[in-house]
């Protein structure tokens, strides 16, 4: 429901009603925090709006069209506030988005999973606009928030001060955490990671939680809720889909040549659209092939899957056909064959869904498991 008013309390009520109806918002404490930290205080005057899920994407400008701006700010969508690490205009929606005011549904889902209690010491990774740090503070947490971009950190500091919130803002690499402020009761992560930095585990007390957008090299992003154990590990399940910008220290690019010259060409009966469209299969494939990047593309209405290994030695492309599907592979590895094998193993397990999988993060490695932490998926 859209409320056409600048009454921020009424708009927040309407937004929280929407989030409750969608299953994101449960706690009355979180609802109260959304009122205590009104979203418009942290929204840019100009930006690029994208609804949370399929829907409109467009520029917003508070001065040029205030009605559209207010509607966007109090709806369940993200607003890009930085593009190309500050080198491009975020309101154009063209360059790569590198920081945003996250969609309320995504923010609330992670806050609910973290289950912040008054007095908790919380480490936030990725300050951005400062809105989530304000919400954590409104929930009663003692917040330390880390932002890698000095410009964003400075703006967030000013905004938080004007809004009446005083978390400690640290400018630096979030992957390192803030050891001087440890131990924390919880870690709240607002950027995607494929490898959960062990520093976050080390800096969280046993029994504390880490909520993180786990975004491996292959497939979808996942909400992961991990609990730190007494033996120096963090263990937990995947609870849903998510999509965040990647931690700067872990950015990578999937590159497959446009020219198929030199590649081995074969065919497969396995539909690439089925492989990429099967929830749970992507987690199983990631567990078996943690060093393989993969993403579906659509060209002229036809699904393609592009694959490459992180070492840069091998790549593959699979193009959907009529019955038979064309496969191109190059390099010492046959990446499509490896992905197909991992997919077929997943179907042999009975096609388990995402929620049947989990992660364990330890000092030496990170592993994916099925059903129970002891049931580790191996290559």
Q: Which residues form the catalytic set?
A: 102
Q: Where are the alpha helices (DSSP H) in 250-355?
A: 272-276, 281-288, 335-348
Q: What share of the chain is helix, strand, coil (3-state, %, to 5)?
A: 30, 30, 35
Listing DSSP states for 86-104 in one string gives: GTB-GGGS-SPEEEEE--H
**Closest to 278 measured CA to CA, from 290, 256, 294:** 294
CA–CA separation, 234 and 362 (whole Å): 7
In 10 A of CB 207, how many CB atoms? 11
Burial letters 297-315, b for 16+ CB under 10 A, else e:
eeeeeebbbbbbbeeeebb
Give every strand in the sheet of 46-51, ordered side by side: 57-61, 46-51, 77-83, 97-101
Task: Quote the tokens at residue 113.
Answer: 């999973």
The conformational region for residue 159 under phi > 0 = left, psi -120 to 50 = alpha, else beta, is alpha
């Amino acid at each position: 429901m859209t409320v056409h008013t600048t009454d921020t309390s009424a708009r927040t009520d309407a937004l929280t009603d929407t989030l409750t109806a969608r299953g994101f918002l449960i706690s009355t404490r979180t609802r109260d925090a959304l009122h205590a930290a009104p979203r418009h205080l942290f929204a840019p005057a100009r930006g690029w709006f994208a609804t949370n899920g399929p829907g409109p994407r467009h520029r917003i400008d508070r001065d040029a069209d205030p009605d559209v701006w207010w509607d966007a700010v109090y709806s369940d969508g993200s607003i890009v506030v930085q593009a190309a690490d500050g080198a491009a205009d975020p309101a154009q929606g063209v360059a790569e988005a590198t920081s945003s005011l996250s969609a309320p549904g995504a923010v609330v889902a992670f806050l609910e999973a973290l289950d912040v209690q008054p007095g908790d010491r919380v480490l936030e990774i990725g300050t951005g606009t400062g809105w989530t740090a304000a919400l954590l503070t409104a929930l009663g947490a003692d917040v330390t928030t880390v932002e890698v971009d000095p410009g964003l950190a400075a703006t967030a500091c000013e905004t938080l001060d004007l809004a009446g919130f005083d978390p400690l803002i640290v400018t630096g690499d979030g992957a390192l955490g803030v050891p001087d402020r440890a131990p924390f009761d919880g870690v709240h992560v607002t950027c995607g990671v494929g490898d959960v930095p062990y520093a976050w585990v080390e800096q969280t007390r046993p029994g504390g939680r880490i909520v993180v957008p786990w975004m491996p090299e292959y497939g979808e992003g996942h909400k992961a809720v991990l609990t730190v154990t007494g033996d120096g590990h963090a263990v937990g399940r995947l609870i849903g889909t998510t999509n965040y910008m990647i931690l700067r220290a872990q950015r990578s690019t999937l590159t497959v040549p446009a020219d198929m010259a030199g590649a081995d060409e074969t065919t497969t009966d396995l539909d690439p659209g089925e492989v990429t469209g099967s929830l749970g299969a992507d987690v199983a494939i990631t567990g078996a092939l943690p060093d393989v990047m993969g993403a579906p593309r659509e060209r002229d209405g036809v699904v393609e899957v592009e694959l490459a290994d992180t070492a840069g030695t091998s790549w593959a492309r699979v193009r959907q056909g009529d019955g038979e599907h064309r496969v191109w592979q190059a390099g010492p590895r046959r990446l499509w064959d490896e992905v197909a094998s991992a997919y077929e193993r997943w179907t042999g397990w009975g096609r388990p869904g995402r929620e049947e999988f989990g992660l364990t993060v330890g000092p030496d490695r990170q592993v994916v498991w099925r059903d129970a932490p002891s049931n580790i998926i191996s290559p």
